[in-house]
């Protein structure tokens, strides 16, 4: 058993880029268990997250939870090796937050529509999926995390200056936590 621990800004792990995992039909049990645990983290009432990337729980792995709007709720879907293969030129600016940056909400421009290629845990398949609006926003945000990019990187110069005191407060209030250890040996499964 292992315990997932949050990494907050400016933990260096948030800047690390994950490498794709190799597998045939499905990721191994450690990864599937990690997906379930990351969903549990999202569902914690005090977090209520609609997305989470492995770096945010201390692991540099290409694994994320992406909330896709379904009616008035979000369906939390686990993705492995996600890649954006198409981006619409039409963009939307919307308020965005991140569990690694508590209480910080800033306007971020994201594509209105994207096509993501990944292994999806709801269909247990590697496939392409078209995502719109909030679905596209959440997936773009999480895939950024897997590439070591955080949402504050995508804001304009004046917002970056404006949020500086808030970032300093986050760094003060959420001291560094040790990343967790998880046995990820034997990542290849048939």
Footprint of Zn ion (CB under 5 A): 98
Distance CA 110, CA 78 (A): 21
From the CB of 105, what's the least distance to Zn ion, in Å? 12
Map residue 155 onto helix, strand or coil: coil
Edge to edge, what strands does the sheet with 63-70 contain? 51-53, 63-70, 73-87, 113-120, 125-132
Nearest CA-CA partner of 30 in 78, 68, 93? 78
From the CB of 176, what's the least distance to Zn ion, in Å? 17
Nearest CA-CA partner of 121 in 68, 181, 71? 68
Distance of CA 17 to the CA centre of its chain: 12
Joined tokens for residue 190: 């048939």
Would you say 50 or 98 has its CB closer to Zn ion?
A: 98
Given a contact cutoff of 8 angstroms between Cβ atoms, the answer to whether 146 and 54 are in contact is yes
From the CB of 57, what's the least distance to Zn ion, in Å? 11
Would you say 21 or 98 has its CB closer to Zn ion?
A: 98
Find the catalytic residue in 95, 96, 109, 142: 142
Given a contact cutoff of 8 angstroms between Cβ atoms, the answer to whether 82 and 51 are in contact is no
**Is residue 142 flagged as an active site residue?**
yes
Would you say 22 or 94 has its CB closer to Zn ion?
A: 94
Would you say 121 or 142 has its CB closer to Zn ion?
A: 142
The residue count of the chain comes to: 190
From the CB of 174, what's the least distance to Zn ion, in Å? 14
Residues labelled catalytic? 142
């Amino acid at each position: 058993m292992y315990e997932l621990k949050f990494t907050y800004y400016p933990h260096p792990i948030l800047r690390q880029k994950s490498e794709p995992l190799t597998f045939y039909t499905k990721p191994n049990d450690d990864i599937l268990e990690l997906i379930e645990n990351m969903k549990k983290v999202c569902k914690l009432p005090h977090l209520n997250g609609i997305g989470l990337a492995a770096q945010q729980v201390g692991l540099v792995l290409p694994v994320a939870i992406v909330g896709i709007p379904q009616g008035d709720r979000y369906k939390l879907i686990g993705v492995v090796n996600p890649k954006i293969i198409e981006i619409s030129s039409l963009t939307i600016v919307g308020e965005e937050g991140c569990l690694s940056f508590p209480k910080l909400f800033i306007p971020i421009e994201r594509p209105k529509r994207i096509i993501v290629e990944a292994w999806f845990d709801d269909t247990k398949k590697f496939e392409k999926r078209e995502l719109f609006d909030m679905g596209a926003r959440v997936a773009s945000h999480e895939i950024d995390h897997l590439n070591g990019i955080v949402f504050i990187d995508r804001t304009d110069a004046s917002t970056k200056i404006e949020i500086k005191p808030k970032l300093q407060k986050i760094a003060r209030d959420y001291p560094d936590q040790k990343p967790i250890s998880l046995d990820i040996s034997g990542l290849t499964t048939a």
